[in-house]
Amino acid sequence: MQLDTIASATMTANRAVFRCFRGCPGEYSVYDVIYTCPNCGGLLEVHHDIDALRSRSADEWKQLIERRVGTTTWPYGSGVWGMREWVMPDLRDENVVSMYEGNTNLFWAGRLGEQIGVPDLWVKLCGNSHTGSFKDLGMTVLVSVVKQMMADGSPVRAVAAASTGDTSAALAAYAAAAGIPSLIFLPSGKVSTAQLIQPVANGAHVLALDTDFDGCMRIVKEVTKDNTIYLANSMNSVRIEGQKTVAIEIVRQFDWNVPDWIIIPVGNLGNISALYKGLKLIKDLGLIDKMPRLVAAQADKANPFYRSFLNGFREKVTIQADKTLASAIQIGNPVSYEKAVQAVTETNGLVEAVTEHELANAAARADLTGMYTCPHTGVALAALFKLVARGEIQSRDRVVVVSTAHGLKFTSFKVGYHEGKLGEVESELANPPIYLPADVGVVKETIARRLQR
Ligand SMILES: *Cc1c(COP(=O)(O)O)cnc(C)c1O
Ligand SMILES: [Zn+2]
């Protein structure tokens, strides 16, 4: 084993293939245009050859990955491609479409943690990324796979996705970087201005449809039945392979120690499935010996997974999701339901749901300690506050909240909050600008009054 190099010796020996998540027999190439099991219609999952991966010891893997973090040796400096043997082992270098995604900082939320009595609180800032959300982690893998498919003569000529805003931004950017046309289906008027303009700027064909996300999903599924357009939604389990690296990255950032809890806002349930898959992989390879408890956080307005949890996961609940400030998780029929049930049950996890009022005030409270949180991160933080209040999360626990997008994408959410204009929200921490005449006396008086409080 060559430990003095960051390239991989096992790369060619090791192979990843699609298998049915429900366990039907059969294997399919990850470079084929196939999204669901031909036998049962369920989701596929990328299966790695664990025995081949065990040819490196846990310590050798840790050292290899640590040596790659942040380097400029293509493509290993990326948080995703630094783990390439675990992600897409037989993808050729020339097909990697990377913008050095991942390696996001783990913000020690000490001040907020002190306030709520959980000082070992961390926020994984996945929004500090190329297009401002964790969706970059999956799209680098998906677009790279498509590039290899096209290089090898596949009929695919474009990529497409329905989106609540961040998927499309990431897909459009990576497709533009690769020179591959992209088609974006957005629910008209239901994404933020920043999210709408991102794929527009990146040259995507942006189709704003008069429906919600689930409606866009139905249409994109029809459009991609023609195998020349590749579906980039999270029912495509290739994306999960990139997204799972964030869980491994969190553990590495704690020197390979596992936190007690990871709390994540969920919509289509791909990301929580990805966290579980990443953690399970490094547990199987002996890098860790326990799992964190995973908490899925939802908005009350779009809470099908929470309802399923309340019925003991006896059956999948599907709803018509109502409008929520957490627009990226306004989903009523989550695609990765079965995978997420596994993620929660196998980690002794929980599902929590929060109101608009709770999510908006949680986001504002975090901002007052220096963060700049998106509404989805507000959902996860509000869930944290509830679990602490209920005594589920205890003061000595180490907790990681996954911040899924950058607050700068959600300016009207912030403005609305501080102007006290959000529906169903009482802005308890509003801090609007103070408009004054340009008069030193008035200004000094105002400062004195403000600093007294
Ligand atoms: C996509 C997204 C989510 C939800 O992830 P799922 O995989 O759909 O559960 C949460 N927050 C943000 C900001 C997102 O863009
Ligand atoms: Zn099947």
pLDDT in tens, 306-333: 999 999 999 999 999 999 999 999 999 9
User: Letter for the amino acid at 280?
Assistant: K
Averaged pLDDT for residues 418-439 = 97
DSSP state of 435: P
pTM of the full structure: 0.96
Instruction: Tell me if residue 208 falls in helix, strand or coil.
Output: strand
Ligand nearest to the CA of 377: 1
Ligand nearest to the CA of 44: 2
Q: Indicate whether 366 belongs to any domain.
A: yes
Cα 94 to Cα 148: distance, rounded to the nearest angstrom: 9
Question: CA nearest 131: which of 157, 102, 159?
Answer: 102
In this prediction, what percent of the chain has a pLDDT beyond 90? 92
Q: Is 349 in the pocket of ligand 1 (CB under 6 A)?
A: no
Question: CA nearest 83: which of 319, 274, 348, 216?
Answer: 274
pLDDT of residue 14: 77
Cβ neighbours around 117 below 10 Å, total: 12
Q: Indicate whether 300 belongs to any domain.
A: yes
pLDDT of residue 191: 83
Q: Indicate whether 343 belongs to any domain.
A: yes
pLDDT of residue 4: 46
Q: Indicate whether 173 belongs to any domain.
A: no
Ligand nearest to the CA of 246: 1
User: Letter for the amino acid at 65?
Assistant: I
Q: Residue 110: enclosing H or E segment and its boundaries? A: helix 110-116
CATH number of the structural domain spanning residue 297 = 3.40.50.1100
Separation of CA 389 and ligand 1 centre (Å):
25
Instruction: Tell me if residue 39 falls in helix, strand or coil.
Output: coil
Q: Is 275 in the pocket of ligand 1 (CB under 6 A)?
A: no
Cα 452 to Cα 436: distance, rounded to the nearest angstrom: 18
pLDDT of residue 214: 85
User: Letter for the amino acid at 169?
Assistant: A
Mutate to test the pocket of ligand 1, among 123, 133, 339 (most ligand atoms within 8 A of CB): 133
Domain extent, residue 397, equals 106-131+240-418
> What are the tokens at 92?
């050729």
Q: Indicate whether 51 belongs to any domain.
A: no
Ligand 1 atom with the shortest distance to the CA of 266? 9
Place 164 in a pLDDT band, splitting at 50, 70 and 90.
confident
Q: Indicate whether 124 belongs to any domain.
A: yes
Q: Indicate whether 1 belongs to any domain.
A: no
User: Letter for the amino acid at 151?
Assistant: A
Cβ 101 vs Cβ 75: under 8 Å:
no
Question: CA nearest 306: which of 277, 282, 339, 341?
Answer: 341
Q: Indicate whether 211 belongs to any domain.
A: no
Indicate whether 1 pLDDT > 50.
no
pLDDT of residue 11: 47
How far from the centroid of its chain's Cα atoms is residue 38's Cα? Answer: 27
Averaged pLDDT for residues 56-80 = 96
Number of domains in the chain: 1
> What are the tokens at 112?
């907020």
| Protein residues with C-beta less than 5 angstroms from the ion ligand 2 | 20, 22, 24, 37, 39-40, 42
Separation of CA 23 and ligand 2 centre (Å):
6
Q: Is 163 in the pocket of ligand 1 (CB under 6 A)?
A: no
Place 5 in a pLDDT band, splitting at 50, 70 and 90.
low
Mutate to test the pocket of ligand 1, among 327, 329, 351 (most ligand atoms within 8 A of CB): 329
Ligand nearest to the CA of 26: 2
Q: Is 224 in the pocket of ligand 1 (CB under 6 A)?
A: no
Cα 395 to Cα 397: distance, rounded to the nearest angstrom: 6
Minimum mean pLDDT among 91-100, 108-117, 212-221: which range? 212-221
User: Letter for the amino acid at 13?
Assistant: A
> What are the tokens at 359?
């999510």
Residue 49 CB contacts under 8 Å (≥ 6 apart), including other chains = 14, 15, 16
Q: Is 266 in the pocket of ligand 1 (CB under 6 A)?
A: yes
Mutate to test the pocket of ligand 1, among 104, 136, 166, 408 (most ligand atoms within 8 A of CB): 166
Separation of CA 271 and ligand 1 centre (Å):
7
Instruction: Tell me if residue 40 falls in helix, strand or coil.
Output: coil
Ligand 1 atom with the shortest distance to the CA of 269? 9
Indicate whether 9 pLDDT > 70.
no
Cα 34 to Cα 89: distance, rounded to the nearest angstrom: 19
pLDDT of residue 192: 85
Indicate whether 278 pLDDT > 60.
yes
Cα 275 to Cα 280: distance, rounded to the nearest angstrom: 9
Separation of CA 49 and ligand 1 centre (Å):
28
pLDDT of residue 193: 87
Cα 424 to Cα 318: distance, rounded to the nearest angstrom: 24
Question: CA nearest 195: which of 441, 421, 46, 406?
Answer: 406
Sheet holding 44-48, edge to edge: 28-29, 16-20, 44-48
Averaged pLDDT for residues 28-33 = 97
Cβ 185 vs Cβ 158: under 8 Å:
no
Q: Is 376 in the pocket of ligand 1 (CB under 6 A)?
A: yes
